[in-house]
Amino acid sequence: MKINKTVILLLIIFFSHTVFSQDLIVTLTNDSLNCKITQIESEYVHFNYVYNEEVRNTVLLTATLKTYQENYYKESEIPARRNSNIDYSRFHLIISGGGSYLFEPMLSDVNEDLKDYYQELKIGYNLGFDVNYYFNRTIGLGIKYNYFNSSSSYKESFSGDGSTSSWDISENIMMNFVGPTFLARFLSKKNGNAFIVGVSAGYMWYKDDVVNFDSKIVTTGNTLGFNVDASYHISLSEKLFLGFSVSTTLGFLNKVTLDDGLNIKTFDFEEFQDYKNVSRADLSIKFGFKL
């Protein structure tokens, strides 16, 4: 009986020392880190540490370390219940940009000479800005703004009766989207990287400027739009990350307004198949700040 009590006591002491003690890491620049080592590899050492009362996770190259010692400190700055948790940041500011492709199909009766013109108009670029806040490791809300632009031009010359004339047409499409975002985040267990899925619903505004000879026609419209974004964020430091995303923005206009400078006309489309499709796909690079 005494032996069993002694064994139990020794196990309690060992367990307490292991759970509540903390490790030491010393870098080549003689910086000492009070931390909890979570994984040791041949080239990397993973560890948790406390910064501004928040538990964070990072990794260092073993080549940059002078030494490390487990259970060096008797008391841990990291709560035992959180030693196994991967760090997560709550507040993110993100800027983004990339290429886009409009889904609207080309009309079947388009003049053969204008096919390249309309195909070029379907390819554009996007710029975006996001403000996100995570309530915990997984769930967050944010505000998304996205801008799209594409343009194209065509010129054809005609000769006859000793003179030459030309037909010039150019077009510029702009779209804005703004709305709230629901976010789901899946953090890597090995580093600060994360896979993010965001779903947004908001206001979508459309404008198409067409210049044909000396006349200009402006088409505008707005609708409820939806955005679905899948991103992978790579942690660069405690405050910065780089992201790559694939997203789609969906919108259909059931009414447009045409303004030729003299008259303004509004066209309502009764059937869904007649709605103007302003949906697109985006491939973007993101640069974010963790606050």
**Structure confidence by residue, pLDDT tens digits, 231-265:** 999 999 888 999 999 999 999 999 999 998 889 99
Together in a domain, 109 and 214: yes
SS3 76: coil
pLDDT at 209: 94
Together in a domain, 135 and 227: yes
CA 49 – CA 108 distance, rounded (Å): 62
Of the residues 73, 104, 139, the one at which a domain ends: 73
Together in a domain, 150 and 259: yes
| Cβ contacts of 30-39, under 8 Å, gap ≥ 24 | 30/66, 34/73, 34/77, 35/78, 36/76, 36/78, 36/83, 37/68, 37/70, 38/83, 38/84, 39/190
| CATH number of residue 277's parent domain | 2.40.160.20
Of the residues 73, 100, 117, the one at which a domain ends: 73
| CATH number of residue 45's parent domain | 2.30.30.100
Of the residues 73, 105, 139, the one at which a domain ends: 73
CA 287 – CA 282 distance, rounded (Å): 16
In this structure, is residue 264 part of a structural domain? Answer: yes
Together in a domain, 34 and 147: no
Q: Which residues of the chain have pLDDT under 70?
A: 1-21, 53, 73-87, 107-110, 156-166
Together in a domain, 285 and 182: yes
In this structure, is residue 84 part of a structural domain? Answer: no
pLDDT at 13: 42
Together in a domain, 25 and 98: no
In this structure, is residue 79 part of a structural domain? Answer: no
Together in a domain, 36 and 144: no
| Amino acid occupying residue 73 | Y
pLDDT at 205: 98
Number of domains in the chain: 2
Residue ranges making up the domain that contains 49: 17-73
Together in a domain, 118 and 145: yes
Structure tokens at 32: 């000492």
In this structure, is residue 133 part of a structural domain? Answer: yes
Together in a domain, 149 and 277: yes
Together in a domain, 103 and 183: yes
Q: Where are the alpha helices (DSSP H) in the chain?
A: 2-20, 115-121
In this structure, is residue 56 part of a structural domain? Answer: yes
Together in a domain, 48 and 106: no
Together in a domain, 111 and 154: yes
In this structure, is residue 7 part of a structural domain? Answer: no
